[in-house]
Amino acid sequence: MNAPERFFLPDIQATPDRRLVAIDRVGVKSIRHPVTLARLDGSTAPSVATFDMYVGLAHDQKGTHMSRFLELLQHHAQRPLDAGGIRALMDAMLQRLEARTGHIEARFPYFISKAAPVSKVQSLLDYDVTLQAQMNAQSRYRYTMKVVTAVTSLCPCSKEISAYGAHNQRSHITIEAELVPGASMGIEGLVAIAEAQASCEVYGLLKRPDEKYVTERAYDNPKFVEDLVRDIALALNQDIRIAAYTVESENFESIHNHSAYALIQRDKRIPE
Amino acid sequence: MNAPERFFLPDIQATPDRRLVAIDRVGVKSIRHPVTLARLDGSTAPSVATFDMYVGLAHDQKGTHMSRFLELLQHHAQRPLDAGGIRALMDAMLQRLEARTGHIEARFPYFISKAAPVSKVQSLLDYDVTLQAQMNAQSRYRYTMKVVTAVTSLCPCSKEISAYGAHNQRSHITIEAELVPGASMGIEGLVAIAEAQASCEVYGLLKRPDEKYVTERAYDNPKFVEDLVRDIALALNQDIRIAAYTVESENFESIHNHSAYALIQRDKRIPE
Amino acid sequence: MNAPERFFLPDIQATPDRRLVAIDRVGVKSIRHPVTLARLDGSTAPSVATFDMYVGLAHDQKGTHMSRFLELLQHHAQRPLDAGGIRALMDAMLQRLEARTGHIEARFPYFISKAAPVSKVQSLLDYDVTLQAQMNAQSRYRYTMKVVTAVTSLCPCSKEISAYGAHNQRSHITIEAELVPGASMGIEGLVAIAEAQASCEVYGLLKRPDEKYVTERAYDNPKFVEDLVRDIALALNQDIRIAAYTVESENFESIHNHSAYALIQRDKRIPE
Amino acid sequence: MNAPERFFLPDIQATPDRRLVAIDRVGVKSIRHPVTLARLDGSTAPSVATFDMYVGLAHDQKGTHMSRFLELLQHHAQRPLDAGGIRALMDAMLQRLEARTGHIEARFPYFISKAAPVSKVQSLLDYDVTLQAQMNAQSRYRYTMKVVTAVTSLCPCSKEISAYGAHNQRSHITIEAELVPGASMGIEGLVAIAEAQASCEVYGLLKRPDEKYVTERAYDNPKFVEDLVRDIALALNQDIRIAAYTVESENFESIHNHSAYALIQRDKRIPE
Map B151-203 to HEC letters. Answer: EEEECHHHHHHCCCCCCEEEEEEEEEEEECCCCCCCHHHHHHHHHHHCCEECC
The CATH number for A261's domain is 3.10.270.10
Q: Counting Cβ atoms within 10 Å, is residue A191 exposed (0-12), middle (13-18) or buried (19+)?
A: buried
- When mean pLDDT is compared across A178-182, B212-216, D96-100, the lowest value belongs to A178-182
On average, the pLDDT of chain B sits at: 94
Phi, psi (rounded to 5 degrees) for A271: -65, 140
Identify the residue with better confidence: C19 or A57.
A57
- With pLDDT > 70 as the criterion, what percentage of chain A qualifies? 95
* Chain segment A237-247, per-residue pLDDT in tens: 999 999 999 99
The answer to whether residue D243 neighbours chain C at the CB level (below 8 Å) is no
> For A22-32, what is the mean pLDDT?
98
pLDDT at D15: 74
Q: Look at residues A160, A162, A157, A251 and name the one whose alpha carbon lies nearest to residue A198.
A: A251
What is this model's ipTM?
0.93
Q: What is the pLDDT of residue A103?
A: 98
Distances (CA, A) of B54 to B99, C100, D107: 10, 37, 36
pLDDT (tens digit per residue) in A170-199: 999 999 999 998 898 999 999 999 999 999
Find residues 154-173 of chain C whose CB sits inside 8 Å of chain B.
156-157, 160-161
Report residue B48's pLDDT band, with 50, 70 and 90 as the boundaries: very high
Contacts of C133 (CB under 8 A, 6+ apart): C86, C87, C89, C90, C102, C103, C104, C105, C141, C142, C143, C144
Per-residue pLDDT band for C199 (boundaries 50, 70, 90) equals very high
Q: Is residue D10 part of a domain?
A: no
What integer pLDDT is reported at residue B4 of this predicted model? 40
Per-residue pLDDT at D4 exceeds 50 = no
Contact D256 B158 (CB under 8 A): no
Closest CA to D103 of C19, C55, A263, B116: A263
Put simply, the chain C residues between 31 and 60 with a CB less than 8 A from any chain B CB are 31-32, 52, 54, 57
Farthest-apart Cα atoms in chain D, separation:
82
Closest CA to C223 of C164, C151, C272, C162: C151
Quick one: pLDDT at residue D5?
Answer: 44
pLDDT one-digit tens code per residue, D141-177: 999 999 999 999 999 999 999 999 999 999 999 999 9
Spatial CA neighbour of A123 closest among B87, B69, C224: B69
Residue B82, domain member (yes or no):
yes
Taking the C-alpha atoms of residue B56 and residue B64, their distance in angstroms, rounded to an integer, is 9
State residue A248's pLDDT score.
98
Q: What is the pLDDT of residue D271?
A: 84
How many domains does chain D contain in total?
Answer: 1
CA distance C99 to C92: 10
Strand locations in chain C (E): 23-38, 44-57, 102-115, 122-135, 141-154, 168-179, 200-201, 242-251, 259-267
**Range with the lowest mean pLDDT among A96-105, C189-198, D78-87, D198-207?**
D78-87
- Contact C29/B66, CB-based, under 8 Å? no
Distance, in Å, from the CA atom of B259 to the CA atom of B170, rounded to the nearest integer, reads 10
Q: Is the pLDDT of residue D7 over 80?
A: no
* Mean pLDDT score across all residues of chain C: 94
d(CA B90, CA B72): 10
At residue D17 the predicted structure's pLDDT band, cuts being 50, 70 and 90, is confident
The sign one gets for the Cα dihedral A44, A46, A47, A48 is: positive
Average pLDDT over residues B124-147: 97
Q: What is the mean pLDDT of residues B164-180?
A: 97
What is residue D144's predicted lDDT score, i.e. its pLDDT?
97
**DSSP code for D14:** G
- pLDDT tens digits for range A202-261: 999 999 999 999 999 999 999 999 999 999 999 999 999 999 999 999 999 999 999 999
Alpha-carbon distance of C228 to A2, in angstroms, equals 62
- Does residue D14 lie within any of the structural domains? no
Tell me the mean pLDDT in the region B44-60: 96
Nearest to B150 by CA among A109, A52, D259: D259
In one letter, which amino acid is C266? R
For range B207-229, the mean pLDDT:
98
In a domain, D99, yes or no: yes
Q: Are C255 and A200 in contact (CB under 8 A)?
A: yes
Residue type, position B250, single letter: E
Report the pLDDT value the prediction gives residue D77, as an integer from 0 to 100.
82
Question: What is the structure's pLDDT at A15?
Answer: 73
pLDDT band for position D65 (50/70/90)?
very high
Gyration radius of chain B over CA positions: 23
- Position C8 confidence tier, pLDDT thresholds 50, 70, 90: low
Work out the pLDDT band at C248, boundaries 50, 70, 90: very high
A21 pLDDT more than 50 = yes
Distance from the B210 Cα atom to the nearest Cα atom in chain C, whole angstroms: 30
For residue D252, what is the nearest residue in chain B, using CA coordinates?
B170
Q: What pLDDT is recorded for position A3?
A: 36
The DSSP code for B14 is G
Asked if residue C224 has pLDDT above 50, the reply is yes
- Evaluate if residue B68 carries a pLDDT over 60: yes
Confidence label for D8 from pLDDT (cuts 50, 70 and 90): low
List, as one string, the DSSP characters of D180-227: PTT----HHHHHHHHHHHSSEE--S---HHHHHHHHHHHHHS---HHH
Residue C258 pLDDT > 70: yes
Gap between the terminal Cα atoms of chain C: 54
The predicted model gives C143-149 an average pLDDT of 97
Task: Name B265's bridge partners.
Answer: B246
Indicate whether C157 pLDDT > 90.
Answer: yes
CA angle, A144 then A70 then B251, to 5°: 105
For the residues A68-94, what does the mean pLDDT come to?
94
pLDDT of residue A86: 95
Q: Would you say D249 and D173 are in contact if contact means Cβ atoms under 8 Å apart? A: yes
Residue A169: list chain C partners with CB under 8 A: 168-170, 252, 254
Chain D residue whose CA is closest to B200:
D255
Residue D183: inside a domain: yes
Q: At what angle do helices D225-238 and D187-197 cross, to 10 degrees?
A: 130
As a whole number, the mean pLDDT across chain D is 94
Q: Do the Cβ atoms of D74 and C126 come within 8 Å?
A: no
What pLDDT shows up at residue C3? 36
B127-157 b/e with 16+ CB inside 10 Å = b?
Answer: bbbbbbbbbeeeeeeebbbbbbbbbbbbbbb
pLDDT for the residue numbered A2: 35
Rounded average pLDDT over B239-263: 98
* Lowest model confidence (mean pLDDT) among A21-25, A29-33, B80-84, B227-231: B80-84
Minimum distance, in Å, between the CA of residue C167 and any CA atom of chain A: 6
CA-closest candidate to residue A1, choices B118, C32, B229: B118
The highest-confidence range among A66-80, A176-190, B141-155, by mean pLDDT, is B141-155
CB contact under 8 A, C29 and B156: no
* pLDDT, mean of residues D19-30: 95
Q: What are the residues facing D29 on neighbouring strands?
A: A259
Over range B66-76, report the average pLDDT. 95
Q: What confidence category does residue A12 fall into, taking pLDDT thresholds of 50, 70 and 90?
A: low
Q: Is the pLDDT of residue A85 over 50?
A: yes
Q: Do C111 and D9 touch (CB under 8 A)?
A: no
Asked whether residue D15 is domain-assigned, the answer is no
- Best B8, B24, B154 residue to mutate vs chain C (most C CBs within 10 Å): B24
Region C150-177: what's the mean pLDDT?
97
Compute the distance between CA of residue B10 and CA of residue B63 in angstroms, rounded to an integer: 13
Domain that holds residue A44: 20-267
Whole-angstrom Cα distance, residue A204 to residue A153? 17
Q: Which chains touch B (3 or more CB pairs under 8 A)?
A: A, C, D
Chain B CB contacts of A63 below 8 Å: none
Phi and psi (nearest 5°) for C153? -120, 140
Phi first, then psi, for residue A243 (nearest 5°) are -90, -35
In-domain check, residue D11: no
Task: Residue B52: count other Cβ atoms within 10 Å of its Cβ.
Answer: 20
* Residue D207 CB burial class (10 angstroms; 0-12, 13-18, ≥19): buried
Contacts of B20 (CB under 8 A, 6+ apart): B59, B60
- For residue D238, count CB atoms less than 10 angstroms from its CB and return exposed for 0-12, middle for 13-18, buried for 19 or more: exposed
Residues of B in contact with D253 (CB under 8 A): 170, 202
Main-chain dihedrals φ then ψ at residue B252, nearest 5 degrees? -80, 75
Interface size C-D, in CB pairs within 8 Å, comes to 80
| A27 CA: distance to closest CA in chain B (Å) | 13
Tell me the average pLDDT of chain A: 94
Q: What's the pLDDT score for residue D12?
A: 67
Q: What pLDDT does B12 receive?
A: 67
Give the pLDDT of residue C12.
67
The reply to whether D74 falls in a domain is yes
Give the pLDDT band of residue C5 (cuts 50, 70, 90).
very low
- State the nearest Cα–Cα gap between B212 and chain D, in angstroms: 5
pLDDT tier at C267 (50, 70, 90 boundaries)? very high
- Judge contact between B164 and D219, C-beta under 8 A: yes
In this complex, the chains that touch D, judged by 3 or more CB pairs closer than 8 A, are A, B, C
